[in-house]
């Protein structure tokens, strides 16, 4: 495993709210991307009472070379009561900003889009004042419309990396162009919706390619953008080509703001679901 620089070292999880969040998630038998993706910010976020819920189970039908989530074929299995359990957890945690993400479910006819929509509606019923951000798979056309029509406040879909590296590090069923289509269509279905995307750095991309990806996102009016350092989950995954220093992340933040993104979160430990970004988005999104 690569030796991490000092700026990537994080504190171990503590007690207090961290334990409370863990207990609630366990009680409702839920999954979080914080755990499944081995997020380095787990201790900080859970310690402040936030979590990103991962729905549609914990088995992904795709196999990206950067992702720690287990892969396989769930054969259509779906927990019908999961949307209700998520909503109950949101209410118990008294969240005012909820992030929902999921594995990819190519074994389902709609990819799980209706399950996403049900979860949004259950949260609206249980916690009507909460803002809801969804980080979705590459839904397009009717499946995407189902999610947009459910009324999330922010719709996110990550392009993950630059155009050249997409077929190398992402599952071959993904494509750079299709990911852009997701974000573009979301605005077409609802011009008022806020859109969000993210890329990881350290996979071998160049500065020019990063800026090109940012321009591609702005061309389709993406509002929020995050950049973070890729960290190799296990020796089986794609190696880290380079650890990007904080000052370079700061430069990309400035470039993104000058391009017209409403908000850019850029730093070594930034992830697509990131507490600082959510704090800012709450000040922008009004319900």
pLDDT in tens, 212-224: 999 999 999 999 9
Residue 254: give its domain's CATH number: 3.20.20.70
What is the pLDDT confidence band of residue 230, given thresholds at 50, 70 and 90? very high
- Give per-residue burial for 242-266: e unless 16+ CB within 10 Å, then b: ebbeeebbeebbebbeebebbbbbb
The pLDDT of residue 46 is 42
Region class of 72: left (phi > 0), else alpha (psi between -120 and 50), else beta: left
Is position 280 within any domain?
yes
CA torsion, ordered 151, 276, 43, 59, to nearest 10 deg: 40
* Minimum mean pLDDT range among 17-31, 89-103, 110-124, 184-198: 17-31
Nearest to 202 by CA among 226, 229, 166: 229
Q: Which residues contact 179 (CB under 8 A, 6 or more apart)?
A: 138, 157, 158, 159, 160, 197
149 located within any domain: yes
Q: Is 6 within a domain?
A: no
265 falls within a domain: yes
37 or 171: which leads in pLDDT: 171
Structural domain count, the chain: 1
DSSP 40: T
Cα–Cα dist 170/163, whole Å: 11
In this structure, the number of other CB atoms found within 10 A of the CB of residue 233 comes to 15
CB atoms within 10 A of CB 199: 25
- From 268, 176, 175, 259, select the one nearest 225 (Cα to Cα): 259
Between helix 246-259 and helix 207-219 the angle, nearest 10°, is 30
* Lowest mean per-residue pLDDT among 25-34, 35-44, 111-120: 35-44
pLDDT at 287: 59
What is the percentage of the chain residues whose pLDDT exceeds 90?
A: 66
Nearest C-alpha neighbor of 90 from the set 125, 62, 63: 125
Tell me if 4 is assigned to some domain. Answer: no
Does some domain include residue 16? yes
| CA angle in degrees (0–180, nearest 5) for 233-237-238 | 110
Q: Decide if pLDDT at 52 tops 60.
A: yes
Residue 18 belongs to a domain: yes
Range of the domain at 205: 12-284
Q: What is the mean pLDDT of residues 233-253?
A: 94
Bin 260: left if φ > 0, else alpha if -120 < ψ < 50, else beta.
Answer: left
Q: Which pLDDT band, with edges at 50, 70 and 90, does 47 fall under?
A: very low
- Mean pLDDT of the residues in the chain: 87
Q: Supply the pLDDT for residue 270.
A: 87
Burial class (CB in 10 A: 0-12, 13-18, 19+), 9: exposed
Could you tell me if residue 145 is inside a domain? yes
**What's the CA gap between 57 and 103, in Å, rounded?**
7
pLDDT reported for residue 41: 45
- Give the ranges where 28-97 is alpha helix by DSSP (H): 33-36, 42-47, 82-93
């Amino acid at each position: 495993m690569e030796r991490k620089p000092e700026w990537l070292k994080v504190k171990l999880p503590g007690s207090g709210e961290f334990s409370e969040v863990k207990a609630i998630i366990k009680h409702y038998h839920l999954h979080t991307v914080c755990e499944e993706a081995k997020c380095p910010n787990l201790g900080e976020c859970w310690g402040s009472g936030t979590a990103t819920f991962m729905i549609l189970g914990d088995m992904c039908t795709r196999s990206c070379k950067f992702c720690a989530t287990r892969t396989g074929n769930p054969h259509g299995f779906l927990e019908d009561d999961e949307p209700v359990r998520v909503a109950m957890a949101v209410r118990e945690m008294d969240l005012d900003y909820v992030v929902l993400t999921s594995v990819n479910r190519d074994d389902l006819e709609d990819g799980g889009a209706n399950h996403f929509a049900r979860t949004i509606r259950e949260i609206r019923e249980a916690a009507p004042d909460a803002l809801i951000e969804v980080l979705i798979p590459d839904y397009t056309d009717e499946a995407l419309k189902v999610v947009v029509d459910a009324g999330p406040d922010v719709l996110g879909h990550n392009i993950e990396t630059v155009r050249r590296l997409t077929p190398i590090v992402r599952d071959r069923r993904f494509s750079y162009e299709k990911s852009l289509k997701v974000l573009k269509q979301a605005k077409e279905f609802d011009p008022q919706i806020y859109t969000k995307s993210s890329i990881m750095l350290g996979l071998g991309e160049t500065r020019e390619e990063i800026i090109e990806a940012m321009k591609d996102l702005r061309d389709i009016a993406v509002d929020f953008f995050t950049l973070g350092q890729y960290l190799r989950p296990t020796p089986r995954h794609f190696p880290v080509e380079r650890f990007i220093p904080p000052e370079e992340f700061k430069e990309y933040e400035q470039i993104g703001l000058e391009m017209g993104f409403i908000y850019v979160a850029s730093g070594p430990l930034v992830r697509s679901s990131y507490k600082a970004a959510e704090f800012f988005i709450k000040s922008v999104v009004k319900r």
